[in-house]
């Protein structure tokens, strides 16, 4: 026996790794087959038990049906009554079942996240599509434009200054109203402008014009001077002139702007009394102004000091008993126009006397020259 065991142990030692794995695989397979056979046996026994139970139940039900049949034969009248009572109920139940439709299976609900994602894509796409279609139609350029606040300018001139074209998109005008309104101020009459929108295609251009401060007079033509200091190049019809107005006899752009700037600080009480402003330069003051008032008073004041000195006239005026000249060139003092006329007459007489004297001297000089020429000619003739 010991020899056989040794041989077996030697054989085991001599087995290769593959053979060992094969033996293990065969053992596992045999075990699995045995387990499957046991499961099949258990299933067969379970089927047999279930069949036996069904046979027993069928026997019991047949016995019960026999008993019921016997009872029905004994009491047919009672069963008929029951069947008659139960018949309408059965019919009603059948009708209800027919009316009741079979419920459809509920569809699976979509998560709110997916709905919002779809909306965020579809809505902008739909808006872009509608906008594209709108821009391709003639409706996109329809504009009804009304101008308000203009009295000295034409509505067409204001529209032209705005740069609004019939071919411009209505949406572009709506989104860039401020730019178009700023362009309107290129018209020298316009101080400010704004554009209002009314749905669907109505626009209102509301403008404010510069005030007319006075009129530059050249001959019989009157050119408006605006509060901006600009002199209008087109004369106004004399029939449209107000009853009282300020006239200016010079139109130098820089001087007019300086004049309007100075007058803007003067009270309306003084400005309303001014009739005419003209340049009256003296040897000391090149920009001296002569301002004639409605009551014939005259004010001499430098243009550069207009806003500083002219307000003093309101204090001096109550002290004047007759038309006077208020001289503000160097200081501030006044004298009557009569005195001025006398002084001017005296100066004129002096000037005329000087001119007469000068003329007389020139005539005497000419006589002397003529006498000298005659004496020279006589001497030359005698020497010959």
Return d(Cα 187, Cα 193) in angstroms, integer.
11
Q: Do the beta carbons of residue 225 and residue 213 sit within 8 Å? A: yes
What are the extents of the domains in the chain? Answer: 140-209, 212-340
Class of residue 188 by CB neighbours under 10 A (exposed 0-12, middle 13-18, buried 19+): middle
The pLDDT of residue 74 is 47
> Whose CA is closest to 335, among 348, 318, 321?
321
CA 262 to chain centre: 36
Domains 140-209 and 212-340 share a fold: no
Q: Which CATH superfamily is domain 140-209 in?
A: membrane protein fhac (3.10.20.310)
Q: Which CATH number fits domain 212-340: 3.40.190.10, 3.40.50.300, 3.40.50.10960, 3.10.105.10?
A: 3.40.50.10960
Q: Determine which of 11-15, 70-74, 277-281, 356-360 has the lowest per-residue pLDDT on average.
A: 70-74
HSE of 376 in the Cβ direction (CA atoms, 13 Å)?
6
DSSP SS3 for 46? helix
pLDDT, tens digit, 9 for 90 and up, residues 234-246: 999 989 899 899 9
pLDDT, tens digit, 9 for 90 and up, residues 136-184: 788 888 999 999 999 999 999 999 999 999 889 898 999 999 999 999 9
Return d(Cα 189, Cα 252) in angstroms, integer.
19
H/E stretch holding 130 reads helix 112-136
The pLDDT of residue 91 is 60
pTM assigned to the model: 0.58
The pLDDT of residue 367 is 77
> Whose CA is closest to 250, among 264, 260, 238, 262?
260
Tokens for 351, please give them: 């000037």
Return d(Cα 101, Cα 105) in angstroms, integer.
12
Return d(Cα 377, Cα 381) in angstroms, integer.
6
Whether 70 shows a pLDDT value over 60: the answer reads: no
Q: How confident is the model at residue 90 (pLDDT cuts 50, 70, 90)?
A: low
Name the most confidently modeled range: 44-48, 253-257, 352-356, 378-382: 253-257
pLDDT, tens digit, 9 for 90 and up, residues 299-322: 999 999 999 999 999 999 998 888
Tokens for 33, please give them: 């087959």
């Amino acid at each position: 026996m010991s020899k056989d065991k040794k041989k077996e142990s030697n054989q085991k030692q001599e087995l290769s790794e593959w053979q060992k794995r094969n033996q293990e695989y065969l053992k596992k397979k045999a075990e699995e087959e045995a387990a499957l056979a046991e499961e099949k046996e258990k299933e067969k026994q379970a089927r047999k038990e279930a069949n036996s139970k069904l046979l027993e139940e069928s026997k019991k039900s047949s016995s019960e049906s026999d008993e019921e049949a016997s009872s029905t034969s004994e009491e047919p009248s009672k069963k008929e009554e029951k069947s008659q009572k139960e018949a309408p109920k059965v019919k009603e139940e059948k009708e209800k079942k027919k009316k009741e439709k079979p419920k459809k299976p509920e569809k699976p609900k979509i998560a709110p996240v997916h709905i919002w994602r779809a909306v965020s894509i579809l809505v902008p796409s739909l808006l872009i599509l509608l906008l594209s279609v709108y821009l391709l139609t003639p409706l996109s350029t329809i504009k009804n434009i009304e101008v308000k606040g203009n009295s000295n300018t034409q509505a067409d001139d204001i529209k032209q200054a705005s740069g609004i074209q019939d071919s411009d998109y209505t949406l572009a005008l709506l989104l860039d109203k401020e730019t178009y309104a700023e362009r309107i101020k290129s018209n020298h009459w316009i101080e400010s402008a704004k554009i209002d929108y009314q749905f669907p295609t109505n626009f209102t251009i509301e403008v404010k014009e510069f005030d007319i401060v006075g009129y530059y007079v050249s001959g019989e033509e009157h050119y408006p001077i605006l509060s901006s200091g600009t002199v209008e190049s087109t004369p106004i019809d004399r029939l449209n002139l107000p009853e009282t107005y300020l006239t200016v006899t010079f139109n130098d752009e820089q001087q007019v702007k300086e004049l309007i700037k100075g007058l803007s600080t003067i009270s309306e009480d003084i400005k309303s009394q001014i009739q005419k402003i003209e340049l009256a330069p003296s040897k000391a003051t090149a920009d001296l102004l002569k301002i004639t008032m409605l009551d014939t008073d005259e004010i001499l004041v430098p243009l550069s000091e207009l806003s500083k000195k002219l307000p003093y006239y309101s204090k001096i005026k109550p002290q004047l008993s007759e038309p006077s000249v208020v001289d503000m060139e160097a200081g501030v003092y006044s004298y009557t126009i009569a005195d001025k006329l006398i002084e001017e007459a005296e100066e004129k007489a002096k000037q005329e006397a000087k001119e007469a004297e000068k003329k007389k001297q020139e005539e005497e000089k000419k006589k002397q020259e003529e006498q000298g020429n005659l004496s020279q000619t006589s001497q030359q003739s005698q020497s010959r």
